[in-house]
Amino acid sequence: MNHVVLLGDSIFDNAAYVAGAPDVVRQVRRELPEGSRATLLAVDGGTTGDVRGQLRLLPQDATHLIVSVGGNDALRKSDFLGASARSTAEALAGLAELGDGFERDYLAMLDEVLARGLPTAVCTIYYPRFPEAPLQRIAVAALSVFNDCIIRAAFANGIPLIDLRLICTEASDYANPIEPSARGGEKISRAIADVVEHGFIGNRTEVFT
């Protein structure tokens, strides 16, 4: 039977934010067929560089790997959003540089995950839910650079892509501006179960929402 392992950050490790309601891994277990298992190795606050350590704990009977990481990498660079720039070109050049650095880190991480030889899917970084409209617009625009790296990596490797931007779309999907609620986790879990059941037929990328 399937043994699904969740790698990455608090998109999966969200127990601290749901006030005793089921977290993502518990919801994944409910969605998978009877007899299947799910293990949480993702850690709240995790970055692309932390996935290597998570892989060291990989169960020997793991059958599928699901990766959601990158949001904290972006958060660590969020001071860029408040930096001054002399021109639009300078601002875009700075954003491109951030994207280049993230892409290197993300691809290195994904290479290590794929080296395990297991069916693997990756997730985009979902949009935050900031109450301040100007900050929300800026964050969404900046995340497009990070998400572009993830999407290209998925298609280049022919692996499924779970697009969290199209899954968590309502205020009730968020426990706070950047963490999924139990409702959001339920929707994410359904997508994971869908990927495990349908996402690994042929060496091609399908997008799950």
Confidence of residue 78 (pLDDT cuts 50, 70, 90): low
pLDDT, average across residues 63-92: 78
Rounded Cα–Cα distance for residues 180 and 190 (Å)? 14
Q: What number of other Cβ atoms are within 10 A of residue 166's Cβ?
A: 15
- Bridge partners (DSSP) of residue 38 are 4
Specify the pLDDT at position 117.
97
Q: 10: which residues sit within 8 A by CB, 6+ positions away? A: 16, 17, 42, 43, 44, 45, 46, 71, 179, 180
Specify the pLDDT at position 87.
75
- The model's pLDDT over 2-28, given as tens digits with 9 standing for 90+, comes to 999 999 999 999 999 999 999 999 999
Domain with 145, as residue range(s), is 3-208
Q: What is the CA angle 145-18-143, rounded to 5?
A: 5
Q: What percent of the chain has pLDDT over 70?
A: 93
What CATH number is associated with residue 133? 3.40.50.1110
- Are 69 and 105 in contact by the 8 Å Cβ rule? The answer is no
- The model's pLDDT over 114-167, given as tens digits with 9 standing for 90+, comes to 999 999 999 999 999 999 998 899 889 889 999 999 999 999 999 999 999 999
Indicate the number of domains in the chain.
Answer: 1
